[in-house]
Amino acid sequence: MSLYVKIYVHFDFKKVEGTKMSILVLDVGTTSMRGILYDNKGSKLAVHQVKNHPEFRGDGIVSESPSDWSENTYEIVREILKNKYAGELSAIAVTSQRSSIIPVDSDGKPLMDTIMWQDVRNKKICRALESKNGELFKKTGSRVNTVFSGSKMTWVRKECPDIYDKVHKFANFPEYIMHLMTGGWNSDYTYASRSGLMNIHTKAFDDELLELYEVNREHLCELHEPGTIVGKTNADFAQKTGCPEGIPVITAGGDQQCAAIGQGVTTAGDVSIVTGTGGFIIAACDSIPGNLTDNVIINCSSIAGKYVIEANVLACSAAFDWFAHEIYGMDNIDYAFTEAELEKEANITDCLVIPYFKGRGAPDWNAGAKAMFADITLATRRSEMFKSMLESIFMELGNHISAFSDYVPLKNIYISGGMTASQALVRLQADVYGKKVTIGSDAEATARGAFLVSLVSLGLYPDLNTAFNETSEQKSVTIEPDLEKSALYEIKRQRMNRLYRQVN
């Protein structure tokens, strides 16, 4: 069983005159799940969040009890609907982290604990498929990797045959939650493009890929464009939550795709960087680039018919938290203190860090990569090591920015997430990237993106640009880089990349 801690209920009551409709967004993250109720103008009426902790069991196993996700869903909906200003609930939209899986039986009951997206128990399976990377990339837009869900399904088949014999569906979180609401098994292209099983060109599960991963088609959910109404709330869900029957349920797409939309990334060349547990960087593109190589990933966008170029850093805020807990001895992170520590180091640090605390993601998907602190002397300060670690995380994101520029002319960079919690962190990102960065005032970009997708799905706005401009009244701040520092960070980034190649 997983560790499970409920943390708070917070209602931000805001009466909106004349409001007769509202949209509930369920945002399923790795360490917490939240519901946000919006009125049709984009004002938040209520928020309810439950925090939970994946269980790290060693040897790369990361799991969580499926009951956390079902009970969280029921609680969030129950508590949100207590809001007296909710008005008429028009829809429920679901967005989620994308690659964790729950094997379920024909009654929809989980057969084992969730295999989380960070879990690398499938690494031997992935290693055995590396010789197929060329053809896999051409079909799926990604090389084989431990994050995507297809090889996790393979692992269950090979290592848990008694469980596999009972499998009706391999469901990810949104598929499972939408099943609880509607009784159907539905998904969308954003999740399927993170499975390794869908042909990115045809947007259909591919027979050759299914054969390669030894996955049966009937174990997968029906695919739709993101923004599709996949069903309506049923009597069982109504009984458990108090939600009326017949409310449309919308699959809004994956969390990173929705976060990009919530930041305003809807035009080709705009870039979203979200630094949560891991760091995700996305660039919008209208079509699959003809010169695409396997140093990036191509996924489907939450904008119907569009694509995103994507890469990730597997440990961002997780590494920040580790340093704060283990090196500074903090039980609870004091951002004012960490800001002061960064301010001590006005210059680029001499210490060099390889930031792969949980392996490396794209381009080489090296699950065995480890973090490393180098060029440390007796004069090295703790604050210098801290800043060096953050520099290295941002330099790895800088590697991806450089790769993206080969495929689409980059325009605006929007940043959000835990590592934008202080001015020093935002300035550091601008300096490392060598580009201006914009941070919005809405910390819930993922939920807002799902809300915007829903507005278009329900026909309230003709397109996402219009919906964003007319409902997102957030203020934004743009930070320009110190170009002298940026030039030095470019040199340091190349040093980091050389060191990585030497030890891997």
Q: Any idea where the domains of the chain sit in the sequence?
A: 3-256, 264-440+474-504
Name the least confident of 77-91, 113-127, 374-388, 456-470.
77-91
CATH pick for 264-440+474-504 out of 3.30.420.40, 3.40.50.2300, 2.60.40.420, 3.40.50.920:
3.30.420.40
Q: Is the pLDDT of residue 183 over 60?
A: yes
Q: Given this model, what pLDDT does residue 3 score?
A: 34
Q: Which residues contact 148 (CB under 8 A, 6 or more apart)?
A: 99, 142, 194, 195, 196
Is residue 8 predicted with pLDDT exceeding 50?
no
Q: Is the pLDDT assigned to residue 90 strictly greater than 80?
A: yes
More confident residue, 24 or 10: 24
- Looking at residue 436, its pLDDT comes to 95
Task: Provide the pLDDT for residue 16.
Answer: 38
3-256 and 264-440+474-504 in the same fold = yes
222 token code pair = 């029906």
Bridge partners for 23 per DSSP: 38, 91
Q: How far apart are CA 74 and CA 55, in angstroms?
A: 22
Q: Looking at residue 9, what is its pLDDT?
A: 33
Plot region of 291 (φ>0 → left; ψ -120 to 50 → alpha; else → beta) = alpha
pLDDT surpasses 80 at 473:
no
The per-residue pLDDT of the chain, averaged, comes to 91
Interval 396-443: pLDDT, tens: 999 999 999 999 999 999 998 888 888 899 999 999 999 999 998 787
Quick: pLDDT tens for 266-278: 999 999 998 888 8
How many C-alpha atoms does 265 have within 13 Å on its Cβ side? Answer: 38
What distances in angstroms separate CA 237 from CA 176, 177, 242, one per listed residue?
13, 10, 8
What is residue 14's predicted lDDT score, i.e. its pLDDT? 37
Mean local confidence (pLDDT), 319-344: 89
337 vs 233, which has greater pLDDT? 233
Q: Which fold has domain 3-256?
A: Nucleotidyltransferase; domain 5 (3.30.420)
User: Other CB atoms closer than 10 Å to residue 167's CB: what's the count?
Assistant: 21
Stated as kind and residue range, the H or E segment containing 397 is helix 382-404
In this structure, of 30-44, 81-95, 134-148, 473-487, the range with the lowest mean pLDDT score is 81-95
Torsion of CA 434, 273, 419, 433, to 10 degrees: -10
Q: Which residues contact 200 (CB under 8 A, 6 or more apart)?
A: 139, 140, 141, 193, 288, 298, 299, 300, 307
Task: Tell me the pLDDT tens digit for each residue of 365-408.
Answer: 788 899 999 999 999 999 999 999 999 999 999 999 999 999 99
pLDDT for res 59 = 84
